[in-house]
Structure 1
Amino acid sequence: MKSQAYRMALLYDFYGDVLTERQKEFYDLYYNEDLSLAEIAENNGITRQGVRDVIVRAEGILSDLEDKTGLIKRFHAMQKQLQEIEQAAGEILERSHRYDDPQLEALAVKIQDIAKLMEKE
């Protein structure tokens, strides 16, 4: 269940802006605020089934967008590649100390800094 909730949170983070305000609200209440369908329904004066329909429709829209674009999949691949770049730069940095090469050290630090900046964006 946790991996499903994590996936739904990622879908919302990446594609949530395409949803209607009502879909965003219900989706957020259900997945992020952990309200039950019954609680959301009671607070909005509709049936539990009505809330479920809105959430299922939103899930479908978000999943379909990911299936078509693959942004989340590419994001995870890029994160892994950035970590590999940082590790490689760290190894270069270690070796630069052995050869007492300040220029090589500066380049390794620059690569690490750029990779860290890219991770944050």
Structure 2
Amino acid sequence: MKNQAYRMALLYDFYGDMLTDRQKEFYDLYYNEDLSLAEIAENYGITRQGVRDVIVRAEAVLTELEDKTGIIKRFHKMQEQFAQMETAVNAILQRNDQKWQDNELELQCNRIQELLAQLKQE
């Protein structure tokens, strides 16, 4: 269940703006505020089934967007690639320290690390 909640949170983070205001609100209450369908229904004066229908439609919209665009999948792939680049740069720096002590090489590796840090924040 935790994986499903994490997946739904990611979908909402990436595509939530594509939902209607009502879908956003119910989705947020259900997944982020951990309210039950019955609690949401009571607060809005509608049936539990009505709340469920709104949430299911929102899930379908978010899932369809990810299926079509693959943005989250690409995001995870980029994060893995950033980590691999960081590992490679650290290995080069370590090798430089042990063998060459080349200041220019160290400077360029530091620049790559700065760029990677900037990319991770975006």
TM-score normalised over the length of structure 1: 0.98
Question: Using the alignment, how far apart are the partners of 2:41 and 2:113 within structure 1?
Answer: 49
- Where do 5+ consecutive residues of structure 1 fail to align? none
The alignment's C-alpha RMSD in Å is 0.6
Question: Using the alignment, how far apart are the partners of 1:34 and 1:112 within structure 2?
Answer: 39
- 2:105 is aligned to 104
Question: Using the alignment, how far apart are the partners of 2:13 and 2:84 within structure 1?
Answer: 25
* Residue aligned with 2:79, SS: helix
Shift of 1:88: 0.6
Structure 1 segments, 4+ long, off by >2 Å, are none
- 2:88 is aligned to 88
TM-score normalised over the length of structure 2: 0.97
* Residue aligned with 1:3, SS: helix
Residues 81-118 of structure 1: CA deviation (Å, up to 9, x unaligned): 00101111111111121201000001111111111111
Residues 14-38 of structure 1: CA deviation (Å, up to 9, x unaligned): 0000100000000000000000000
- 1:24 is aligned to 24
Question: Using the alignment, how far apart are the partners of 2:71 and 2:20 within structure 1?
Answer: 21
Q: Once structures 1 and 2 are overlaid, which stretch shifts more, 111-120 or 11-20?
A: 111-120
Question: Using the alignment, how far apart are the partners of 1:72 and 1:46 within structure 2?
Answer: 33
Q: Which amino acid aligns with 1:89?
A: V
- Where do 5+ consecutive residues of structure 2 fail to align? none
- 2:58 is aligned to 58
* Residue aligned with 2:101, SS: coil
